Amino acid sequence: MDHSPTVSDDQAQIVPAVKPPTLWQIFVEFLLIGAVSFGGGIVAYERILLIEKRRWLSADSFMATLAISQTMPGLNSVNLALLAGDQIRGVSGALVATVGLMLPGAAFVLIAGVLYSAGGQHSFVNLLLAGIAAGATGLLASVTYTIGKRHFRQKTSLLMIVATFILMSLLKLSLVLVLLIMVPIGLYLYRPRQSQ
């Protein structure tokens, strides 16, 4: 009888890979993400790569990195690539992850811009871009649920999520103002408690 412990999917996502990847591996993986994530959804692909596929980061480390990347100026996905690359292989890892992620999109935009200016506006292109945007929205919704499903079940976390949504989407407050409001509340609610 096999008495070896089994590991659930959530536990498997907690343990990162032991051997650090080469810079080339980091570059290629982020290049592929940049190449297949048209219309958005890059953070979803980064999560799959970093936690599930390669296990270069733990789930907690990814969430912390994502939170930091969202407070930095610029695109969240690029910030996430930069910070994740830095965690994996230092400054060199940050550089190759960022270049790998941005290269396909930059090349596509450059080529598409040249072709678009030469050929004028086509309705097919607009329909194609609308379809890509719809797919990206679905992917982002899926990743939001996957990343946050643990928090959707906790009353305090759910209240924080709803309050943030109301401040951002309904009241149209700026990100900086929402952070100034919600961060102190979150720090207070999730402060370490002394055991009694």
The mean pLDDT of 107-130, rounded to a whole number, is: 72
Please state, rounded to an integer, the average pLDDT across all residues of the chain.
83
Kindly state the tokens that stand for 161.
């999520």
DSSP per-residue codes, 6-24: P--HHHHTTS--SSPPPHH
- Give residue-wise pLDDT tens across range 167-177: 999 999 998 99
Q: How far apart are CA 34 and CA 168, in angstroms?
A: 28
* CA 119-120-125 angle, 5° bins: 90
- Provide the 8-state DSSP code for 170: I
The mean pLDDT of 144-149, rounded to a whole number, is: 80
The mean pLDDT of 105-121, rounded to a whole number, is: 75
- Give residue-wise pLDDT tens across range 55-86: 999 989 999 999 999 889 988 999 999 999 99
